[in-house]
Amino acid sequence: MWELIRTNKRNSVLLMALMAMVLLALGAVIGMATVGPQGGLFGLGIAAMVWLGLTVVSLSSGDQILLAASGAKRVTHDVHPQLFNVVEEMKIAAGLPVMPKIYIINDPAPNAFATGRSPQSASIAVTAGLLARLNRDELQGVIAHEMSHILHRDILYVTLAGIMLGSVVLLSQVFMRGMFYGSMGSRRRYSSDSRGGSQAQVVLVVIAVAAAILAPIMAQLLYFALSRRREYLADAGGARLTRYPEGLASALEKIAADPSPQLAAANAVTAPMFFANPFKKRGQKGLSDWTSTHPPISERIRILRSMSQGVSYKDYANAYASVTRGKSIMPAAALADEAVQIRGTQAEPAKEPPPPKQIHDVGDIMRKVNGFSFLTCGCGLKLKIPPKFPSDTVRCPRCSRTLPIHS
């Protein structure tokens, strides 16, 4: 397992080095095109500075920005004991030193993400829709998947890679706009004045334009490759932590079948952080594997369901190979021979609520997050009392009984 993490680290570093090269090369070419042949170094410096600046900001407060942008609220044990307990169970299974911070997002689309630089300062956020739809075993699977992201330090890699992607896009955008406005005015005169070598300059500009178009695409493909690989690994880790791949598989199945609109608080750069691709498209089957942050859900489910022998990383790799026919996701040398048994279902205290109730549940979970208290009247009506309710008593609207509110 640890060897696997190390090998994986090497692959990610390689992918990120490639992205860095794309970024720096783009900077150099743009520099040469705008300033002249000697401007390459200058452009390179600018690219490096943009990249460094963005990296510093996102490493110091990236997780806070992400959580705030998605409207996530920090919750305690009282608000949703089951979620809190499941996270603690997975924290114990993963041997994490501290409890991750737990957030709930007010969104009916079932999804989840983990963020934070290191296992010591990690956060897990889930949507209210996820809590309302999944049973205990499924929730455990999702949390285990997120816990594996934390354990593998995926969040750090994905954030760093995302920043590089952002820098590439930023640079090429700025350059293209500069070209567009510059070509109308004095730009041409400057370049022809420089050394009469306008021929070479034109060639350089053409190369730079091509680079500005191609670089973001290349960076994006690299980013996607990194993200997909890590999704598979997190599935493998999640199955190993719970010893129960079926929980994760059936959670994925429910999410795939969910009709809710896509998550409001997701964009292209944050997409890889989520449990399932937040951009659901109607023709998801037609989407090429190359241009997606997540592996196809159906494939993830099939891999998990075909793990009949055990739940070690090796078993996942075998299942992966048999489902995708041949490709290998993990380096064989990194897979220790360990026998990890699948367990049976754990005791389920409460049966799943029937489907019509679930939409209410999303609202109730959010009211609880926002500090509402609940009262059940003698006539069976459930009253929802907002925080800072002015009076000590409330009258039941159905049977006009007066009920005391204990805060």
Partner 1 sequence: MVGLVALLVVLGILGLVAIVGIGIYNGLVGSRNQVDNAWAQIDVQLKRRHDLIPNLVETAKGYMKHERETFESITKARSAAMGAKSVSEIAKSESQLADALSKFMLVVENYPELKANQNFLALQEELTSTENKIAFARQNYNDQVLFYNNKIQMFPSNIVAGMFVFTKRDFFQVETALEREAPKVNFS
Q: Show which residues are catalytic.
A: 146
Q: Which one, of 337, 347, 348, 334, lies nearest residue 310 by Cα? A: 337
Minimum CB–partner distance for residue 346 and partner 1 (Å): 6
Q: Which long-range contacts (CB under 8 A, 24 or more apart) does 207-214 make?
A: 207/29, 207/33, 208/29, 208/30, 208/32, 208/33, 208/34, 208/175, 209/33, 209/176, 209/179, 211/25, 211/26, 211/29, 211/30, 211/172, 212/26, 212/30, 212/171, 212/172, 212/175, 212/176, 213/172
Closer CB to partner 1, residue 82 or residue 324? 82
Note the residues at the interface with partner 1 (CB under 8 A).
Answer: 1-2, 81-82, 85-86, 88-90, 92-95, 136, 243, 336, 338, 343-344, 346-350
Closer CB to partner 1, residue 207 or residue 375? 375
For 6, 170, 212, 337, 344, the CA distances from 1, given in Å and listed in that order, are 9, 38, 40, 10, 23
Please say whether the beta carbons of 385 and 363 come within 8 A: no
Closer CB to partner 1, residue 16 or residue 342? 342
Closer CB to partner 1, residue 2 or residue 181? 2
Minimum CB–partner distance for residue 83 and partner 1 (Å): 11
Minimum CB–partner distance for residue 273 and partner 1 (Å): 25
CA distance 322 to 115: 32
Task: With residue 233 as reference, give the H or E element that holds it.
Answer: helix 198-242
Closer CB to partner 1, residue 206 or residue 336? 336
Minimum CB–partner distance for residue 367 and partner 1 (Å): 16
Contacts of 279 (CB under 8 A, 6+ apart): 262, 266, 271
Minimum CB–partner distance for residue 354 and partner 1 (Å): 16
